[in-house]
Structure 1
């Protein structure tokens, strides 16, 4: 309710109170208030016009562009608030005071958050008189057509996600481990002498210049299986996720020790334990002994909230504030586990992603020195309780949240979603039986 409407209602209530109570004072006060508001309305003039201009019509996703808004006050003194209303664009709030007949130009930033062709809606101005009684809204200028091109960082993320998905498929076919790398390190401008096979034609078409892919160069390295033994992994009504994860870890190790030195890191909420890499049947037996992990009772969590954007600068900063030194303790022991791996290696995480923020940070740091893959038992698929309408709704919400989570992790490293029935199939493919 506007302040003017509230005062008018108060005036009528005062008149009514005077009439019903036989007291003339409230009635006179109510009449005086109505006359005062009527007089203010006669002398109050609110009028604002203007137009917006921006620096060009070709914008870049996520990159701020400066908008200049020229405002003209055609009425009395007013406070003006300006807001942008185009979906997919963020703008700084603008608040300004305009005297009677005054003109001012204000600048602010607009950040496009989606790529494509858009029509920027004209900004909307809300003008308020100094007493705060009268409010008017005005549309300033006309709409403007713009083209938002994808950012370099956005293209890199899309390429990484696409290639990580292909690497995940390569793993399913047994081709993840080896000396030849398919993983993209970066995108850069074409230079004379570059192999034409390295040109990324999609990125080239978007940017209008030749862009090539740089691939990571790798040598034979040890394999480390990182097994998540945090509290969420050990929960389960009939059988815990850690039981399935331990079986998968053992079968992976048994398959790989003939070709690689295989080590294992078992981490929980506070610490990590390292089994140094080795080869042969004796190493398989050593891993088997370390995998004597028991589950614990309790219902599994179905929460996968995760909201983090991390670019290269953020990762560099993370490396400074979260150094991977031996003995580091934190919300999980995964950082301590990574500090125990000294040389560039293959790292296979087996985790349900129940602590996504911390794990994302760990993997973001690990991929800078290692080749990483994530095998993730899906808690939704491991649910073994009663199914009623509310439970099904909760499981569906958890499924949608997890799908979004997997997309974010695939920007960092190939991430494969697993259910209880997937283990045998994955192991068979690694062994070559499923080809």
Structure 2
């Protein structure tokens, strides 16, 4: 119940008591309370404005100060109470006394709880000094706020690791070979595995879902389409090696160990540069491809193609427009092949999507290994001025990945998917 309603209720009780008890004292007290109530209510006139100076940008979980000015055009002194609230913010609540027709200033603060575009909400009221009545105030200066991820969260993002082994996940996505009843090993559960394959004893022992894996009857022939363009090769922080070399080394070692044959088709933006048949030794393949790490930052913001796809495809059939590297590599893949594309989906998304669809029409099973360059950045090499670009690249790449996931099988890679032992050996 509001204080004003309580005061009126007490006055009513006193009036009723004065009539029943014939007491002029109770009637006098009731009259005094009603007079006080009426004087405050009648004097509460005018309006006020709260002007807030919100910044355009901020960092996640860092406190932001908001200079605030209160313009009061009231006839009585009072208290202005302002509160910043919202699901995505942790805000302050402040009070300041303001005199009639005066201007007061104060400093509020709040903390964004997530990255992205957020819209803080502000509640401001004027109260008389006794707290009987409240009046909402007009608020100016509220606008959407762009919140960038904090450097500490960027560091954590690169350390996040999916539990399943990425190469087992890749083999499962390709669906290579036919399983026999001969047991091979135990591994962690991957979403999509059959529940009947869960080994409950091992699951109880390791406190995580473990499934049984059986040997494949027929080894597969795998085609690796590898982007070796300079825009894709970047040196890992503190290592004289690039992540493309690590990915290729582990692909060859893993699938050769399991008896599969690998052919490598290397390409750049201009076309196919080298084809390696039956690649079973990682070191020989790397020497043949002449892979060398390059310093600097990769392309963080994905490319967006807006060309007319139908016209472009027609002209390519006529030979009027030369094929890009990935398109030429895709045409060299034979029908009904298992294909692994190692590329950055942000470099040429339209060409990548078109090439994969064309191979799938010819009966190929295709999986894209996507090393997200944002996860391979070293925070030591990032300037504070570059955080906005990194955040924009993060948002656009997540949007692109979600869009392409509906059409392609994509496995996103981070540094945690590159085995430390391989790094040390190389």
User: How high is the TM-score relative to the length of structure 1?
Assistant: 0.42
The structure with the larger Rg is 2
